[in-house]
Amino acid sequence: MKEPDFEQIARLPIIRYYEEAFRKATGVPLVVAPPGESATRLSFGRCENAFCTLATGTPVGCAACLEVQVRARRGVASQGRPTQVNCFAGLSDVAVPVTVRGRHVATLMSGQVFRREPTQRDFQIVLNVMAAGRDREWEGRLRRAYFSTPVVTADRFEAVIQLLGVFSQYLSDHIDRLAMESGADEPLAVSNAKRFVQARVEEPITLAQVVEHVRVSRFHFCRLFKRATGMTLTQYVTRVRLEKAKTLLVDPSLRISEVVYASGFGSIPRFNSVFKRHMGMAPTAYRVALQSQLPN
């Protein structure tokens, strides 16, 4: 069985879906990071807290942020469970491990929020630490960003961690299934077929299209694919669509019909039937179960 590495995991379409769905559902940023520590600060990209972006533009802020991230990632690696840390400015971060068959393969990094309302005195302490050489305009932008940072209550923060745990377990299961489906000596035609399906999952996909893409005979491809994955192409397409649908169901703003067509099923009755057969519950029940993990 091929062991996944982080570069392979990071290329999975489901990672991007998770990060976006989590942000929409909670208002808190999420990034999937490599396991272990890093010599450079991890950026949350376009979803990063505005205060963190400004603060880490200074040598002091960048070094302080890196130190917090190292502590969080070190805690996850040594303890194998969620780790919470606070930065010098009073913001909380959380790291949650993703493990596959006991191996730490990725870390979910989230947070950049306050646990209580910040005060003017709090901000002045932050300013004293990092404002050397900065002008009034920069201080004004830092102040606005600081007091615009979300404040998350203890209950809501615990719900965020619970949801990260759900994501972590689901990612673990998904990565493990992909690893089981891919042998170390997987034929090129099979790898190309998988990439073709994953890139076009929302579209109708036929065996004829795939065979033409991978340039082998229909009979040879079917035998090759079944031997390499343990599934027919149709079964594999269904599995990929289910994975995308499950991720999309996290987003409460999406109607079931939108999930159906975005994941390529094309028919609500067919989607309901396939989902219940594979998951043991209807899509609406699955969504309710996920939503129960979210803050009220």
The whole-angstrom separation of Cα 292 and Cα 2 is: 35
Judged on CB neighbours under 10 Å (0-12, 13-18, 19+), 255 is: exposed
- Whether pTM > 0.85 for this model: the answer is no
- Sorted by where each starts, the structural domains of the chain and their CATH numbers stand as 6-152 (3.30.450), 185-291 (1.10.10.60)
pLDDT digits (tens, 9 = 90+) for 129-182: 887 668 889 999 999 999 999 999 998 998 899 889 888 878 887 776 676 555
pLDDT digits (tens, 9 = 90+) for 258-280: 999 999 998 999 999 999 887 77
